[in-house]
Amino acid sequence: MIHIDKSYLNKGINNFRKSMILVVGDIMLDRFIWGNVSRISPEAPVPVVEVEHETVMLGGATNVVNNLVSLGGSVMMCGVVGNDPPGKEIISRLDELNVDTGGIAIEGDRPTSVKTRIIAHDQQVVRYDREKKISLNPKTTKGFLDFIDEKKENLSALIVSDYGKGVISRQLMDGLKSITSDCNFPITVDPNVKNFPLYKDVTVITPNHNQAGEIAGIEIINEEDLKKVGKKLLHNKKCKALLITRGKDGMTLFEQEGRVTHIKSIARKVYDVTGAGDTVIATLTLGITGGLDLKSAAYLSNLAGGIVVGEIGTSTLNIDNLKELIDSRL
C-alpha cells in the first residue's frame, strides 16, 4: 500500500507555477463532431448522425502543452505543422496560452495532422484522420535541437510526446542526449512502440500496458507477466523508471533500484481515454519538477488521468480540480 502525505502533495502542486517545461513531439488538432443517431441509413447499414455542434481542441503533443498550462506550468514547444489553416489555428491557440512557439517549424509539403471524431450519445461512432506519416527534413530536426540547446538553461524538464508521426527520430533523440548531457533536469517520454529503441538515458517512460507488452514481446495477462515486462524494459537501462498505465487497474511504477509500486485507479466510470496519456505525462512531469518523489508524482498523475477519462473528448484539468480530488481521497 503506497503511503501519500496530503500536505506533501499540495506543496508539490503549489510549485507547478515555478516550472518551465519544453515539449517536443507530434502536433495535432482534434475535431469533435457531436450529434444524435435516430435511424440507420437506407444506403448502407450505418448510423445516420444528426450533427448538433462541433468543437476543436489541441491534440497530440499540444494536448500535453494544454494540460501543463492548465496546471499552471510555463511551456515551450517544438514540433511541426503544415502551411494550412489547421496549422495556423494551432499556433494561434498556443499563442493565446502564452506558450513559446519559437520551436515550431512549418513544412509546406506536410499537412497538419487533424483527427476528427464523430460522437453520438456519448459514444465515438467513427474517427477519420488527415495526415502524412513522413520523416522530417533533417534541417527541421536540427532547428529543434538548436532551439532546445538555446533554451536548456531555463528548463525545469523536457517532455517527449511521441505519436509516431515523424517528429521523433534517431537524429532528434541522439541530439537530445548530446545537448542535455550536462543538464540535470528530467526527461520524460510518452512513447510510441516503434520508436522505443530510440529512447536512451531518460528519466521516465510511460507506456500503457498494451505498448509495454508489445515492446517486451510478452502478453500481459496477470501480475506476474506485468512484473516480467517491467523488469525486462528496465534492464535495458534506457530510463531510470518505467510507469506502466493500466486503465481500470491503475498504474505500476518500476524503479531501477528494484522497487515496484502499484497504484490503484480511481473508482469511476471510464467514458473516453482520449488524451489520458497526455494528462498523465504532464502531471507526472510537473510533480517531479515540483519536488515530489517519483511515487508521489505517479500517484498524482493517476488522480489526474482518472479525472479526464470521465469526460468525453480531449480534456484538461486545473490545480483546483486536483486539490479537490486529493481532499476527497486522502
Q: Which residues have a catalytic role annotated?
A: 278
Q: How far, in Å, CA of 269 to CA of 261, rounded?
A: 24
Burial class of 22 by CB neighbour count within 10 A (0 to 12, 13 to 18, 19+): buried
Q: CB count, 10 Å around CB of 135?
A: 12
* Residue entry with cell 524494459: 233
244: nearest Cα among 235, 232, 254: 254
Residue 286, helix vs strand vs coil: helix
Q: What DSSP line would sit under 160-202, residue for residue?
A: EE--SSSSS-HHHHHHHHHHTTT--S-EEEE--GGGGGG--SE
192: nearest Cα among 161, 217, 226, 213: 161
Which H/E stretch holds residue 16? none
* Residue entry with cell 490545480: 319
Residues 6+ apart with CB under 8 A from 146: none
In Å, how far from its chain's centre is CA 32? Answer: 19
- Paired strand residues for 188: 159, 204
The separation between the first and the last C-alpha atoms of the chain, rounded to the nearest angstrom, is 13
Cell of 101: 512557439
* Residue entry with cell 502531471: 283
Q: How far, in Å, CA of 193 to CA of 191, rounded?
A: 6
